Amino acid sequence: MVRLGISNSLQSGDSLTPRSSTGIFLTTKAIIGIGAVIALLVAASLIALSPSLGGGNSTSTQTVTDTQVLTSLIDGGNTTDQGLNPEAIYSYANQSIVTLQGVQTTTVESIIGLPQTEEETVLGSGFVIEYSGQYYIVTNYHVAGATANLTVTFSDDNSYPAKVIGSDPYSDLAIVTASSAPVSEFHPLNLVSSSSLEVGQYVLAIGNPYGLSGTETFGIISQLGETIQDETAGNFSIADVIQFSAPINPGNSGGALLDANGSVIGITTATVSGSQGIGFAIPSDTIIRELPSLIANGTYTEHSYLGIEEVDMNYQLAQAAGANVTYGAMIESVVSGGPAADAGLLGGTRTVTIEGSQYLIGGDIIVGINGTKIVDENSLASYLEEHTVAGQKVQIEIIRSGHWMSVMLTLGARPPISS
């Protein structure tokens, strides 16, 4: 997402800055469900995703026809050694990519220390999908969620008023409609599950970096199950994120991350400031899971809440704490009255300094949930996001004072994000 305004600065969603120059996850800390899994700190701007556009009814005939055309192009076109045909995928998918633009109001401190408001123009990407016979556009919350005078521009350069009908800042998702746009403007992409993705798989990203419409880049999935944080989600983490190497820039927010079949497997969302080829996308499974609620209710309220602040366990912490494991998520503190506190989970009792960072050690070490091994904060956050909902009972496996034990816990729901 590009923000053009008085400050001319990029905002959360397009760029992420690591906590430490020596490593993104060095001294990572997080609050699952309340605070942030600060695996990555958002410093500039996120790469927004486009919400749904409602512009008439679609037909199964059109979807089938588009898929058949793509299959024909891929089979008969210039396929790479990796079995990918970027030209065919682009000719099919680019017509589905849109530009979203509007105005966001922010409060800043004036030169004399008083609060004042500023208006900034926001520009991001989005893509068209079909759900229950209607067309929608999926985008990032940081692009459209709090944006006034929102418009959508299709690949033929025709523009129409747009409206957000559903949003979830916790997943940085928004759904947009454009009821005045004719059906001919909508070319839905196929949304498929991201559950079977593998590191090393080839991907394509299409979006509008710096307003350069319909830009395609190519790369691979470089990691799965990452965790990022951005301003729109408060201090909560966005978990189970796809890391990929296709170059993206401000303005790509909300664009489509595609597989070799031209199907959507994620929405491009963020980069790391100063990096080369490190991008992040919200996985398509998150969209698929939340889409019915976002469209029907305008929100999604099933994010589970644990109520702890924790840190990745490692060899140095294990030595300092006298622990017998070097993996897991060590609890530093529990939120009073939260699910973890109610279940009797314990936080740290003494402070130590390791490599210049302070840690509260002596608390329980989470090593598993429902039989699934938890190796760090990322795996903890990803498991909760992918496999649990608010109100669900889970079995937490922990190491306490060197002994393994399990605790039954009822997950809460995340509290509203304070404005």
| Alpha carbon distance 182, 379 (integer Å) | 44
How much is the pLDDT for 30?
38
* pLDDT bucket at 85, cuts 50 / 70 / 90: confident
To the nearest whole percent, how much of the chain has pLDDT over 90? 61
CB 50 within 8 A of CB 144: yes
Query: DSSP string spanning 111-167?
Result: TTS-EEEEEEEEEEEEEEEEETTEEEEEE-HHHHTT-EEEEEE-TTS-EEE-EEEEE
Give the pLDDT confidence score for residue 371 in this predicted structure: 94
The string of pLDDT tens digits covering residues 359-394 is: 999 999 999 999 999 999 989 998 999 899 999 999
Q: Report yes or no on whether pTM surpasses 0.85.
A: no
Go through the domains of the chain in sequence order and give each one's CATH number: 304-413 (2.30.42.10)
**Whether pLDDT at 70 is above 90:** no
Average pLDDT score over residue span 126-143: 95
| Residues 269-290: tens digit of each pLDDT | 988 877 778 999 999 999 999 9
pLDDT at 4 over 80: no
142 assigned to active site: yes
303 carries an active-site annotation: no
Question: Both tokens of residue 266?
Answer: 């994620």
Model confidence at 38, pLDDT cuts 50, 70, 90, reads very low
Q: Which of 253, 304, 333, 382 is catalytic?
A: 253
Range of 74-88, 117-131, 329-343 with top mean pLDDT: 329-343
Is 187 among the catalytic positions?
no
Selected catalytic residue, list 14, 172, 312, 376: 172
Residue 320 has pLDDT above 80, yes or no: yes
What backbone torsions phi and psi does residue 320 show, to the nearest 5 degrees?
Answer: -65, -35
CA distance 64 to 68: 6
Work out the average pLDDT over 344-349: 94
Question: Exposed, middle or buried: residue 336 (CB in 10 Å: 0-12, 13-18, 19+)?
Answer: exposed
Q: What band does 81 get if pLDDT is binned at 50, 70 and 90?
A: low
Q: How far apart are CA 208 and CA 253, in angstroms?
A: 8
Query: Which tokens belong to 319?
Result: 């030595």
Catalytic residue among 14, 58, 142, 382: 142
- pLDDT by residue (tens digit) across 212-260? 889 999 999 999 988 887 777 777 888 889 999 998 988 899 999 999 9
